[in-house]
Amino acid sequence: MTHLKRNKIGKFWPVPRKGTKYLAVPSHNKNNAISLVVVMRDILKLVKNKKELKRIINERRIQINHKNIEETNYPVCLFDVINFPDIKKNYRAMLSTSKKMIFEEIPDEEAKTKIFKVISKKTLSNKKMQLNLMHGKNIISDEKVKTGDSVILDLKDNKILKIISMKEGSNVFVTKGKHAGHQGKIQEIMDRGGKSIAKIISDEGKVNVWIKNIIVTG
């Protein structure tokens, strides 16, 4: 499926529910991303149509996370960076407090990195550790990292620059659920019915959020 009816798209898509009947969906990560053509044409309004985007892609004038891409339907996920090397502009995908994906222009230095949540870990046959990160990304590392922690990666060489632990006092960003788009600090981590809950002091006040719905940022 390459297209979806406009009224069926994810609630985090910042596009009107009325307009052309269909919109292009991402080639993968369909539930967590917006297709690049929709971002470029309907949100950032940097191209007029798919043909124009395809030309820019072929000319290597656009990258995602400093990697050349081939598809107009390439998925753009939360915290991804869209790079325009020739004009030295970068946009990071963020989430607003209204739960809509937005794109903030960021400087070149900030565009070199991306934060990832560690979803799970796996020990390989060579005793190396494979870290399974958000959005389906995997890396091999010798670093001591726990599931739930975050890692900041250098996007050009795929190396971990910093590990941020999931613990009391850590700053967090809520990525899903009722409080998505809000930020705060973990006051307490609790277990309720087999589910880990973080009590957060946020810009909304004190709220309880599933650990699976937050990412530690500092």
From CA 105, how far away is CA 112, in angstroms rounded? 13
Domain boundaries, the chain: 3-108, 112-164, 171-216
- One pLDDT digit (tens) per residue for the chain, 218 residues: 577 666 666 778 788 766 666 678 888 777 889 999 999 999 999 999 999 999 999 999 999 999 999 999 999 999 999 999 999 999 999 999 999 999 999 999 999 999 999 999 998 877 788 999 999 999 999 889 999 999 999 999 999 999 999 999 999 999 999 999 999 999 999 988 888 999 999 888 899 999 999 999 99
Single pTM value for the model? 0.90
- Distance in angstroms (rounded) separating the CA atoms of residues 121 and 128: 10
> Would you tell me which CATH number, out of the four given (3.40.50.2300, 3.20.20.70, 2.40.50.740, 3.40.50.970), belongs to the domain 112-164?
2.40.50.740
Paired residues of 116 in beta bridges: 151
Q: What share of the chain is helix, strand, coil (3-state, %, to 5)?
A: 15, 45, 45
CATH architecture observed for domain 3-108? Roll (3.10)
